[in-house]
Amino acid sequence: MLGSLLLAGSRSPLARRAVSGFPLTRKVVDRFVAGESAADAVETARRLTGSGLSVTIDHLGEEVRDSGAAVAAAKAYVSLLEALRPLGLGDRAEASVKLSAVGQALDPGLALENARQICAAARECGSTVTLDMEDHATVDATLGALRALREDFPETGVAIQAYLFRSEADCRDLAGSRVRLVKGAYAEPASVAHQRRADVDRAYVRCLRVLMAGSGYPMVATHDDRLMAIAESLAVSAGRGPGDYEFQMLYGIRADRQAALAAAGSRVRVYVPYGDDWYGYFMRRLAERPANVAFFLRALRGG
């Protein structure tokens, strides 16, 4: 129930004003968001990669309905990738892109062109792009854009949300692709998505089986130790070594676990968001784990 309320709040202008205006909110946001500028994101990437981790960087923003804002978002990604190039990190520092941030809801053609520019900038620094997945109504459009981008940039990846009923089939269709498997972080109706945590977990494992048995590159995005162990077991059964898949975790959540996995030889990529449009992302992080809400409340009390 709490998660559903928080997800609803993530799209409420009234809730946005209330939370954004609260003086202590920034203290908590700083745990989950690397900063507001590209320089903040680059410094965070430098620090994390220096400790043996990889990163995927998200310039925060979504549901853009102004062509100028969509072009500005694409330029922000290009500038970020240009700033990363001198570090020589290659695919240890990639970009995560929401198509709605670069104009998908306004003009799919504009969004595709903006995404192409970002992919080209990523290739220039030896990196790549993963398309974030948004709510269920955008899945077909996102996968269509992925197919178009992969004609010139076959290294482009995509996120698939296990809680959607369609996702196991989508994983089969994405044979040979880089796929980030997530549980899902949007409030979806029971007609299209599993609602119970146990059902979501089972769906996640079914998708994992498909990805590990395929010829692509699975990116296992979870903080659940049990699912991580299942992923490792499936990888061994499929003959995959540590470099044939990776774990992904969010910036600010279970940093000790990230370090332990990397120290044990696993490839671990941290999802690093930055920018001033942090509200929707922040609310979804609170909705995902009760521990995040407890952290928020302790910070508001000054603890």
Q: How far apart are the first and last CA of the chain?
A: 26
Q: Where are the alpha helices (DSSP H) in the chain?
A: 2-9, 13-20, 25-32, 38-50, 67-84, 108-124, 139-150, 167-173, 197-213, 225-237, 255-263, 279-288, 290-300
Burial of residue 46, with CB atoms counted within 10 A of its CB: 0-12 exposed, 13-18 middle, 19 or more buried: middle
* Choice among 58, 92, 132, 178 that is catalytic: 132
From the candidates 92, 116, 150, 180, which is the catalytic residue?
180
Q: Binding site for FAD: residue ranges?
A: 133, 161, 183-185, 222-223
For residues 243 and 215, the answer to whether their CB atoms sit within 8 Å is no
List, as residue ranges, the binding site.
Answer: 98, 133, 161, 183-185, 222-223, 284-285
Q: Specify the DSSP class assigned to residue 297.
A: H
Is-contact 178 217, C-beta < 8 A?
A: yes
Active site residue 132: yes
Dihedrals φ, ψ of 145, to 5°? -65, -40
Residue 293 amino acid letter: V
Residues annotated within the binding site for substrate are 98, 284-285
Active site residue 180: yes
Residues marked as catalytic: 132, 180
